[in-house]
Chain A
């Protein structure tokens, strides 16, 4: 079809029904979007009505209260500490099980299924929900935050670790087996050297994610800078809130930058 000096080039569907299946698919997508918008009350008029309020809110946040930074240093450091231990405990939980959850090393299908499902379940529950549970169990403070990150992170890392083990070259494993080496010797000398750089990269990535998550854990009382964020909003100190948000953004960007550089450096070293 020609439109002025342009041509519309669309391949004709090869199916015998022509365009009908595509029209039906398009109509179905539109129907689902409409249905979801009704349920989620997505509305342009509401948004336009709310815009002045959003503007008002941002106005109250400006200028950020820079003096509040003094009070944020301790919770910000605590956030980093939560992320460090959350990541470390996740690694400690994931490593012993990941070998059992790798198809090529697992002793049998039952163990494989149990460990895989364990990782799936822990990964499936959001950190905030886990934090709520652990706050109820061990009380307010940063430690339930650490536990929440550890459990969720263990599922995440465990799945990744076991999948990276499944991708290794089987040859050296077989060679070690044929020397009469034991299972743990095979893991240490045959498996770990093949996966370790990939593991370190993903642990760094996990730390970055944990730091981001740790900034909001405080909202449910699990320590870190999120507690100050929610507190300042509850007291209508929006200029303090603005400072909190800026500090969080700065922390996340710094972690993102550092871990990206570190991962690039490690990957380069691997070749």
Chain B
């Protein structure tokens, strides 16, 4: 579904990505695991070209992605994105936020006048039902909690009826319980609908729990590819270099449900 070859991204003097090769199979739930600043976000953003790669080819569903306007919009209609900070429009209703996922596929002029095809409204409703927020459809989105906002973000992505969903740290701002709920909705929907998901995470236990396959990224390179079972301590120290003992610092199986360091910090902030 996605084929990436020799992907490089350079910001000034800093190499964010250093020759990434990656294949993602159709319908797969792939977790990209790595510390903050490893280049996970840049990798995802290069796929839908919110960031223009410096070098390298990306094929999506057999098509080489290019930067011209028309093919870019076509590409983005097929590839939805979910963001760490939800990026929902606070003053719009929940339903309208989900409908914005349909904007690329509906007549522009009518949408400017807030007139939407009934078929698209029905799709939006259906997507809200999947994340169990259909009762909140008429509410303004800024009245929702963080976890609910992210479910709106998922519904908006699903409303695009995409082939691929890119999820960039979708639960990094949420507490552990909500995180699990949100990831469950995402995984369930993508499995039901056969959508390929590439999900960035920095929490090892979620990667193990939700990833069908895991790619470890460190300092702009792929340092591991394999199933959740292959994620050993030796592998983790490759992904998180400089950690003397992965058991201590990053929530290995021995620590069970303990959230990773960052999650705990965010949970406190939210409280």
Interface residues of A (CB under 8 A from B): 171-172, 174-182, 184-185, 188-190, 193-194, 196
In contact, A172 and B88 (Cβ under 8 angstroms): yes
* Chain B residues within 8 Å of A184, by CB: 108, 112
Please report the C-alpha to C-alpha distance between residue A175 and residue B75 in the assembled complex, in whole angstroms: 14
A118 to chain B, nearest CB (A): 25
A219 to chain B, nearest CB (A): 43
Beyond A171-B83, A171-B85, A185-B112, whether A180 also contacts B104 by CB under 8 A is yes
Nearest 8 Cβ contacts at the A-B interface: A180-B104, A171-B87, A175-B87, A180-B76, A181-B103, A180-B77, A193-B91, A178-B81
- Answer whether residue B160 sits at the interface, using C-beta atoms and an 8 A cutoff: yes
Please report the C-alpha to C-alpha distance between residue A211 and residue B256 in the assembled complex, in whole angstroms: 69
In contact, B87 and A179 (Cβ under 8 angstroms): no
Beyond A184-B112, A185-B103, A189-B103, whether A178 also contacts B76 by CB under 8 A is yes
In contact, B103 and A180 (Cβ under 8 angstroms): yes
Which of A171, A175, A193 has the largest number of chain B CB atoms within 10 A? Answer: A175
In contact, B101 and A179 (Cβ under 8 angstroms): yes
Please report the C-alpha to C-alpha distance between residue A193 and residue B102 in the assembled complex, in whole angstroms: 18
Chain B residue at minimal CB-CB distance from A189 = B100
Please report the C-alpha to C-alpha distance between residue A172 and residue B81 in the assembled complex, in whole angstroms: 11
* Chain A residues within 8 Å of B103, by CB: 176, 179-182, 185, 189
In contact, B108 and A178 (Cβ under 8 angstroms): no
- Answer whether residue B214 sits at the interface, using C-beta atoms and an 8 A cutoff: no
In contact, B108 and A189 (Cβ under 8 angstroms): no
* Chain B residues within 8 Å of A193, by CB: 89-92
Interface residues of B (CB under 8 A from A): 48, 50, 73-77, 79-81, 83, 85-92, 96, 100-105, 108, 111-112, 153, 156, 160
* Chain A residues within 8 Å of B92, by CB: 189, 193
B141 to chain A, nearest CB (A): 10
Please report the C-alpha to C-alpha distance between residue A184 and residue B191 in the assembled complex, in whole angstroms: 34
Beyond A189-B89, A193-B91, whether A182 also contacts B156 by CB under 8 A is no
Chain B residue at minimal CB-CB distance from A185 = B103
Beyond A172-B87, A193-B92, whether A178 also contacts B112 by CB under 8 A is no
In contact, A179 and B108 (Cβ under 8 angstroms): no
Please report the C-alpha to C-alpha distance between residue A176 and residue B73 in the assembled complex, in whole angstroms: 11
Please report the C-alpha to C-alpha distance between residue A18 and residue B99 in the assembled complex, in whole angstroms: 67
Please report the C-alpha to C-alpha distance between residue A125 and residue B88 in the assembled complex, in whole angstroms: 41
Which of A180, A184, A193 has the largest number of chain B CB atoms within 10 A? Answer: A180
* Chain B residues within 8 Å of A179, by CB: 76-77, 80, 100-104, 156, 160
B17 to chain A, nearest CB (A): 19
In contact, B104 and A175 (Cβ under 8 angstroms): no
Taking A174-B50, A179-B80, A188-B112 as given, write out 5 further A-B residue pairs in contact, using a Cβ cutoff of 8 Å, ordered by the A residue number: A172-B88, A175-B100, A178-B81, A184-B108, A189-B89
5 A-B pairs (CB sep. < 8 Å): A177-B50, A178-B50, A179-B76, A185-B108, A189-B89
Please report the C-alpha to C-alpha distance between residue A186 and residue B87 in the assembled complex, in whole angstroms: 13
* Chain A residues within 8 Å of B89, by CB: 172, 176, 189-190, 193-194
Chain A residue at minimal CB-CB distance from B101 = A179
Please report the C-alpha to C-alpha distance between residue A171 and residue B77 in the assembled complex, in whole angstroms: 18
* Chain A residues within 8 Å of B50, by CB: 174, 177-178
Please report the C-alpha to C-alpha distance between residue A242 and residue B116 in the assembled complex, in whole angstroms: 58
Beyond A175-B156, A193-B91, whether A181 also contacts B104 by CB under 8 A is yes
In contact, A181 and B83 (Cβ under 8 angstroms): no
* Chain B residues within 8 Å of A177, by CB: 50, 76
Which of B74, B89, B91, B153 has the largest number of chain A CB atoms within 10 A? Answer: B89
Please report the C-alpha to C-alpha distance between residue A5 and residue B143 in the assembled complex, in whole angstroms: 59
In contact, B91 and A175 (Cβ under 8 angstroms): no
Chain A residue at minimal CB-CB distance from B73 = A180
A96 to chain B, nearest CB (A): 14
Please report the C-alpha to C-alpha distance between residue A180 and residue B164 in the assembled complex, in whole angstroms: 14
